[in-house]
């Protein structure tokens, strides 16, 4: 849906530039390195920046507070002892531009699959730490 949980004005944090940030709240079953450090290249985060910049280029808040500085990801851990973690993400202009150029390619691939009635299987996600994909039997050939 790419809706924003919160838009915040951050000031007084010497580790990050002051200004507007999109704040996204997420949950995680565990706090491993991947969960804590890989937000810089996450498509949903880059998409939020792209949509914000495209939809609000002349918004009065941008005139008052300056350009969007990035995204704050607030992670709530679902461990036995709940944990909190905050990641500041600053997608580059290159990443946002590349994302914009990639979207039509993905749309075209989807449209081609619909036109041909053939949907290629992406088998990398067949079995993960969350178990088997819902389509496991179909892709394995147990169903027609």
Instruction: Walk along the chain (144 residues) and give the pLDDT tens digit of each residue.
Output: 556 788 888 888 888 888 889 999 998 888 888 888 888 888 888 988 988 888 777 777 677 787 889 999 999 988 788 889 999 999 999 999 999 999 999 999 999 999 999 887 777 777 776 778 887 777 777 554
What mean pLDDT, rounded, does the chain reach? 84
Residue 23: strand pairing partners: 6, 72
Residue 89: strand pairing partners: 71
The model's pLDDT over 90-124, given as tens digits with 9 standing for 90+, comes to: 999 999 999 999 999 999 999 999 999 988 777 77
pTM score over 0.85:
no
Strand 68-77 to 19-28 pairing: parallel
Determine the Cα–Cα distance for residues 83 and 133; give it in Å rounded to an integer.
28
Determine the Cα–Cα distance for residues 75 and 85; give it in Å rounded to an integer.
5
Half-sphere exposure of 141 (CA within 13 A, CB side): 0
Specify the pLDDT at position 113: 92
């Amino acid at each position: 849906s790419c809706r924003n949980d919160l838009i915040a004005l951050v000031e007084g944090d010497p580790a990050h530039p002051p200004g507007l940030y999109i704040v996204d709240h997420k949950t995680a079953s565990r706090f491993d390195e991947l969960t804590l450090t890989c937000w810089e290249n996450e498509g949903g985060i880059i998409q939020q920046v792209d949509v914000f910049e495209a939809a609000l280029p002349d918004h009065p808040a941008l005139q008052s507070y300056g350009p969007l500085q990035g995204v704050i990801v607030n992670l709530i851990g679902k461990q036995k002892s709940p944990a909190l973690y905050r990641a500041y993400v600053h997608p580059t202009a290159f990443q946002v531009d590349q994302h914009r150029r990639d979207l039509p390619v993905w749309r075209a691939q989807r449209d081609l699959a619909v036109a041909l009635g053939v949907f290629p299987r992406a088998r990398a996600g067949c079995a993960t730490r969350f178990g088997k994909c819902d389509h496991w039997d179909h892709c394995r050939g147990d169903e027609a």
